[in-house]
Amino acid sequence: MDLESITAVRSGRPITCNAWLFWLRKFTGNIPNSVLVVMGSLFMSAVFMPTTDASNTRIFSLQEATIKQMQQAMEAGALSSVELTTMYLNRIYAYDLNGIKLNSIPVLNPRVLEEAAEADRLRSEGIILGPLHGIPYTVKDSYMVAGLTVAAGSPAFKKLMAKDDAFTVKKIRESGGVLIGKTNMPPMAAGGMQRGVYGRAESPYNADYLTAAWSSGSSNGSATATAANFAAFGMGEETISSGRSPASNNALAAYTPSRGLISIRGNWPLYPIRDVVVPHTRTVEDMLRVLDVVVADDPITEGDLWRHQKVVQLPAVTSVRPKTYLELRDPNSLKGRRVGVPKMYIGKDFGGSDPVRVRPSIIELWDKAAADLRALGADVIEIDFPLQNNYEGDRVGTRTMEERGLIPLNWMELEFNYINSYAAEEFLKSVGDPNFPSWANINPATVFPTPPASVDACRGFNRNSDYKLLIDTIKAGVQPIEKLPGFAAMLRGLEETRKIDLENWMKAEKLDLIVFPANGNIGKANADVNNVSYEEALQNGNLYSNTNYVLRHLGIPSVSVSMGTMKDTGIPVNLTFIGPAYSDNDLLRYAYAYEFATNNRTLATRVSPLFDEILDYSDGKTVPPVQRTDKLPPVLVLNASLAGTTLTISGTAKDTSKIATTRIYVNGIDTI
């Protein structure tokens, strides 16, 4: 038994220590694992030194690492889930909680290293739970996670505690995923970059610009965290463009599914007719690996409007999803396809009462994207876009859904006043926290408070009346939504509108898919406090992602992937692929082909690699965990104290095969 005494002292300028992370590496033949001890805010993990055998030639770099690369390194024995997780934690403490304070992950999972250690233990026994085994990820604050709060960014629900997992969290957990924490969002997802109980996330590319659209980018924390390499992937959501918009500003792949393909049970609802789960990944291939896990049958339909309703028959998940989404990796899938691009999104159609304003640097990116699509064998055709024009009814000759009699004239009142209220109360009761029995007990002024000195506050704008109406509706007694007069007609009308204005129109025009820049402009970071920036952020093309409400309201799937970075702002912009309902697999194929050929994702420029983020196992001498003999982790006994500007960590470490190296990180920074 090897026993070593450890004393480390760090003295200097005053520091705020969110965490001290302690690493040990062993000399010989053991599966990476960890001991987790918490003393105040002290995290200590012990990881094993890789052992040797002739096999692979690899170099692992955490920066932009794919899920496949992570799995390869762990399978080879060069990396453990504990070590991978602590690498990400170091980045979070260095860049998210300190330093430039991106503020994307305000709620850390206190059991994250224990989950990683369990993944490593199972791997050492030859047990791999699924394709995400040992992979660190995040979820938006609106997802239920057993044992964590589910505030949805709202002060009113800061202490609301979930006892169960959302369906997608459950599936990822069953696949071996390791939850790092929950990502930032505005209160109740009812906006974009407004500040909630945890503030807001900032851009990892340029501090002068927003990391998502001002009015619809509530998954901003998920996108910032994924782009900044704080986790392998993030789980966001969307009601208007809250998943697509932050993905575009952060050069991420985003997927918004057709109705019912990914269960949203266990997520706070906003507009349940429109809400969808949106994964964020750095590559389309990583997206396919995540979809292999989260696209699955959910036998429980309560809490998911489209899967629960009996008006419109949806296809079974198994009839749509492939055996594995990796089958969709086809670099030639765009060859021979007729691709329509709406002129309104590329600066060539200024009709209507509020035309889309398109930044010249985005048009420049589109011109290159169009050339790339043609080089891939696609026929790119500039088109008018009746889907959008009819939905908004802002042009001569267009007729809205109501005017054509497709949906009831009172559909907005029906949806906003009753369906949303019922869903909000149903969700809160499903959480099961006895301290939050009903919305009837909530003060509406605490749900989405307007920050003092903000433009909204100066203009007298707040959402108190909206939440008072919701609460009053609940107090009056909301009946089950399927019993509401007009509910069935509304659902049928939304489906019929999509078929007429998109699917039948695409057939008539002989179009295989539609593509367009994800947005027309980018909002400034001071939009919340500067009147000029605020007004610019409200312009069409900047307020939301392009298409505004129509995609989510009509159940139109989309896949977005980066088409490059604007030269004048340094902010990325995505290319969005859309098509008929349940053409999801084709859209994923097209996005994969485009990304495969162009590789337009750019690194987040405000963050850089930290020490120990590169593992060189190219000598091919690592031993797979299952082949190792000594499976016991090191034992750590440590104490920490902070006196003024001096941090002292002392204690002992022991292990049967000796300690090779010791590393101590303070707020993510190596101290040795």
Return the pLDDT at 608.
96
Domain with CATH 3.90.1300.10 in the chain: 338-517+555-598
Q: Is the pLDDT reported for residue 421 higher than 60? A: yes
Rounded Cα gap, residues 351 and 418, in angstroms: 35
Question: Which residues does 454 contact at the CB level (< 8 Å), separation at least 6?
Answer: 528, 529
Model confidence pLDDT, tens digit, residues 273-312: 999 999 999 999 999 999 999 999 999 999 999 999 999 9
Rounded Cα gap, residues 653 and 649, in angstroms: 12
Between 539 and 26, name the one with better pLDDT.
539
Helices and strands (H and E) in the chain: how many: 20, 21
Q: What is the 3-state secondary structure (H, E, C) of 165-181?
A: CCHHHHHHHHCCCEEEE
pLDDT category at 448 given cuts 50, 70, 90 is very high
Return the pLDDT at 53.
40
One-letter amino acid at 208 equals: D
Across the range 522-550, mean pLDDT stands at 98
Question: Which residues does 243 contact at the CB level (< 8 Å), separation at least 6?
Answer: 219, 222, 236, 237, 254, 256, 276, 278, 280
In sequence order, what are the beta bridge partners of 301?
none
Return the pLDDT at 639.
81
Q: Is the pLDDT reported for residue 477 higher than 60? A: yes
In sequence order, what are the beta bridge partners of 209?
524
Distance set, CA 378 to CA 336, 373, 582, 618 (Å):
5, 6, 21, 40
Rounded Cα gap, residues 594 and 284, in angstroms: 10
Return the pLDDT at 672.
62
Return the pLDDT at 653.
78
Across the range 103-108, mean pLDDT stands at 98
Return the pLDDT at 446.
98
The CATH fold of domain 338-517+555-598: Amidase signature (AS) enzymes (3.90.1300)
Model confidence pLDDT, tens digit, residues 183-226: 999 999 999 999 999 999 999 999 999 999 999 999 999 999 99
Handedness of CA 327, 333, 338, 339 (dihedral sign): positive
Report whether 553 contacts 495 (CB < 8 A). Answer: no
Strand order in the sheet with 635-643: 2-11, 646-655, 635-643
Model confidence pLDDT, tens digit, residues 621-665: 888 989 887 777 677 777 888 888 887 888 887 777 677 667 777
pLDDT category at 49 given cuts 50, 70, 90 is very low
Q: Is the pLDDT reported for residue 543 higher than 80? A: yes
- Residue 292: other Cβ atoms inside 10 A: 20
- In the chain, pLDDT over 90 holds for what percent of residues? 80
Model confidence pLDDT, tens digit, residues 238-283: 999 999 999 999 999 999 999 999 999 999 999 999 999 999 999 9
Return the pLDDT at 37.
34
Query: Burial of 397 by CB count in 10 Å (0-12 exposed, 13-18 middle, 19+ buried)?
Result: exposed
What average pLDDT does the chain have?
91
Q: Is the pLDDT reported for residue 51 higher than 90? A: no
**Cα-trace Rg, the chain:** 25
- In this structure, what are the phi and psi dihedrals at residue 248, rounded to the nearest 5 degrees? -65, -45
Return the pLDDT at 665.
77
Beta strands in 440-522 (DSSP E): 513-517
Report whether 632 contacts 47 (CB < 8 A). Answer: no
Return the pLDDT at 322.
98
Return the pLDDT at 669.
76
Report whether 346 contacts 516 (CB < 8 A). Answer: yes
Q: What is the DSSP string of 349-364?
A: ---SSSPPP--HHHHH
Report whether 236 contacts 291 (CB < 8 A). Answer: no
Return the pLDDT at 13.
41
